[in-house]
Structure 1
Amino acid sequence: MFATLLHEIPLQGGDVTDGVVRVGDTVRRPTTPSTPAVHALLRHLEAAGFGGAPRVLGFDELGREVLTYLPGTTGVSLLSITDEALADLARLLRRFHDATEGLPLDLDGWAAGSNDDAPPEVIGHCDLTPANVVFSGGAPYAMIDFDQARPTTRLFDMVTTLRHWAPIADPVDRHPLLRGVDVGERLRLFCDAYGTPPRERRRLLEVARLRFHRSYAVMRTRAASGGSWARMWAGGAGERIRRASAWLDAHEDGLRDSLV
């Protein structure tokens, strides 16, 4: 049991989990129904030698999980949007997926959410937004906030990542630094760095469309229960998904040409 002896510093940036704080060189997070499964994943990653995730240290006297703090920066910046950073992110995701192999995919307690129709292959992070990628020296080296992790396909987790990092989004909803990028070239670059085979590249846009449809339905249902999901929905999350789907439809031919 870890006592809280130092000053708590609120950590902002994520959309879903409230009450995350830094205490010294640790992070304290409220537990969720998926916490036991996430801890099994993090311990598996540690045993596999994957250095790009926090370590589980236990629980504090308030019942919060205690994880190691990973120093660095998160969010969109001039350094985070470079081709080199995108390729590094793809390689980080590939190492993560490879490291999850061997962890049973039928563990109870994984987060519910949208998914692929194909059988699961790995444990996906499923929420690798800029807020959940830690950079140091201009390069991404770790991922945080595994509350949405669940069994899925490699391609589905790639799509959830590219949704934010390519990004597959209407320009009006992109970060200003990403409004002028060539999304097709960024999709190709990411797939090259990850090592995505041609058959999966041909399916990527189909899976992206599937994800838009299903994530819209999931978010609408969760918003009805209130809390952070309701705030996200009220803030226009549903409309952003709809615009992204329409943008994908309008630009599919050019994106496909870049991919294959």
Structure 2
Amino acid sequence: MNSFTYVESSEPHPEIPLIGGDVTEGVVRVGDTVRRPVGPNAPFVHALLCHLEEVGFPGAPRFLGIDTAGREVLTFVPGEVAGRPRPAWIADEDRLASVGRLVRDYDDAVAGFVMPQGVRTGFPISEPPGVPPAPPYPAEVAGHMDYTSDNIVFRDGKAAALIDFDLAKPVARVDEVMNAMMYWAPLDDPVDADPPLREVDVPRRCRILADAYEMSDVDRSRLVEVAVLRSRRSWFLMKQRAEEQGGGWARMWDEGVGDQIKRREAWLEQNGATIDAALNAP
């Protein structure tokens, strides 16, 4: 897919920095647009966003082109994101259910996406030494795979849109739900959870997300397995990105994300049976 040049409005607008993400720097708002550095996954993301526009999915920004500074231009998505420090409302179960519905609507919208010829995801093909195998389930959708509190836009208390598609890639649907649960249940040692989520009933929140997504029985039975396998791989992949890409990846590694991943893996091993029971109860 060839990106096209964005034609600027005749009316000048100031550049307003947008903060909140962990990795991408230099994101600004200009009028009704957002300008972001072009990342390694940009061809895939641009094709994906154009597909979402073609099918009429309302919950994503529109890709408008590349500006004269070489930045990608997207429509600005109005609404509320959690930000930092996290607001108390991230623990609200109605909002949680709306996250599950939005993820399902997105996955249904991209189920028919066909990657254009010559376009690949922008992640390294070679895997770091010693990395455990990925879950053995085939890709079904072009997943968003970064459902952090910073990347879901709420309106009137409901999840309405997704932003930041930099980590999008083909995955199984169970991966998508697991990723949402990781941040919103959350699937983590409570010591690493956002303060409003440290004392919540995690298995119950997993069930709320699964029900809102209308998760299949087969995927419910796979969820804990996938969460453990993805956590084991995550340590190696995060370390690789920190070493090879630096920037925000290196900062997170230096701040101890590797230790957090190890704690998550241990917590999942200890609590997996309880989560599995909640997901699969009648």
Do these two structures clear the TM 0.5 threshold for a shared fold by scoring above it?
yes
Specify every segment of 5 or more residues in structure 2 that has no aligned partner in the other structure, as ranges: 1-5, 125-132
What residue is the counterpart of 1:111 in the other structure? 122
* Aligned twin of 2:65: 58
TM-score (norm 1): 0.95
TM-superposed CA distance for 1:253, in Å, is 2.1
1:223 equivalent in alignment to 2:228:
no
> Which range moves more in the overlay, 22-31 or 222-231?
222-231
- Among residues 104, 110, 116, which one is paired with 1:94 in the alignment? 104
Matched, 1:77 2:87: yes
The answer as to whether partners of 1:220 and 1:233 remain within 8 angstroms in 2 is yes
Instruction: From the superposition, tell whether residues 191 and 134 of structure 1 become closer, same or farther in structure 2 (CA, over 3 Å).
Output: same
Whether the 8 Å CA contact 1:33–1:109 is kept in 2: the answer is: no
CA distance in 2, matches of 1:159, 1:254: 15
Structure 1 partner of 2:269: 249
Q: What are the within-5 Å matches in structure 2 for residues 124-203 of structure 1?
A: 124-203=143-222
Q: Deviations over 1:191-227 (max 9, x none)?
A: 1111111121111000000110111110011111222
State the shift of 1:160 in Å. 1.3
The aligned residue for residue 234 of structure 1 is: 254
Once residues 131 and 2 of structure 1 are traced to their aligned partners in structure 2, the CA distance between those partners, rounded to angstroms, is: 29
C-alpha contact 2:144 2:167 (8 A) present in aligned 1: yes
Computed over aligned residues only, the root mean square deviation of the Cα atoms, in angstroms, reads 1.6
> Where does residue 130 of structure 2 map in the other structure?
none
Deviations along 1:33-60, whole A, 9 cap, x unmatched? Answer: 3212111111111111110000111121
CA positional deviation for 1:115: 5.4
CA contact 2:91–2:200 (8 Å) conserved in 1? no
Cα separation, 2, equivalents of 1:105 and 1:24: 31
Q: How many angstroms apart in 1 are the aligned matches of 2:76 and 2:96?
A: 23
Q: Which moved more, 1:32-41 or 1:123-132?
A: 32-41
C-alpha distance after superposition, 1:61-100 (max 9, x if no partner): 1010110001112124233321111111111000100100
Cα distance between partner residues in 2 of 1:111 and 1:12: 24
In 1, the alpha carbon distance for the partners of 2:155 and 2:135 equals 32
The answer to whether the Cα contact below 8 Å between 1:6 and 1:23 also exists between their aligned partners in 2 is yes
Consecutive unaligned residues of structure 1, counting only runs of 5 or more, are none
- Quick check: 1:46 aligned with 2:53? yes
Q: Distance in 2 between matches of 1:45 and 1:137?
A: 23
**Contact 1:220/1:238, CA 8 A, preserved across alignment:** yes
Distance 1:3 1:61 in 2: 9
Alpha-carbon separation, structure 1, partners of 2:146 and 2:116: 20
What secondary structure, in the 3-state scheme, does the structure 1 residue paired with 2:91 have? coil
Checking the alignment, whether the CA contact within 8 Å between 2:61 and 2:76 is kept in structure 1 is yes
Query: Percent of pairs identical after alignment?
Result: 47
Indicate which of 31, 41, 50 corresponds to 1:34: 41
| Aligned equivalents of 2:220, 2:166: Cα separation in 1 | 27
The AA in structure 2 aligned to 1:140 is A
Residues matched between the structures, number: 260
Q: Which amino acid aligns with 1:44?
A: H
| Amino acid paired to 2:238 | M
Structure 2 contact 55–109 (Cα < 8 Å) conserved: yes
Confirm or deny: 8 A CA contact 1:105 1:123 kept in the other structure: no
Question: What TM-score do you get using the length of structure 2 for normalisation?
Answer: 0.88
- Contact 2:16 2:28 (8 Å CA) reproduced: yes
Q: Secondary structure at the match of 1:80?
A: helix
CA distance in 2: counterparts of 1:65 and 1:105, whole angstroms: 19
Match of 1:134, SS state, is strand
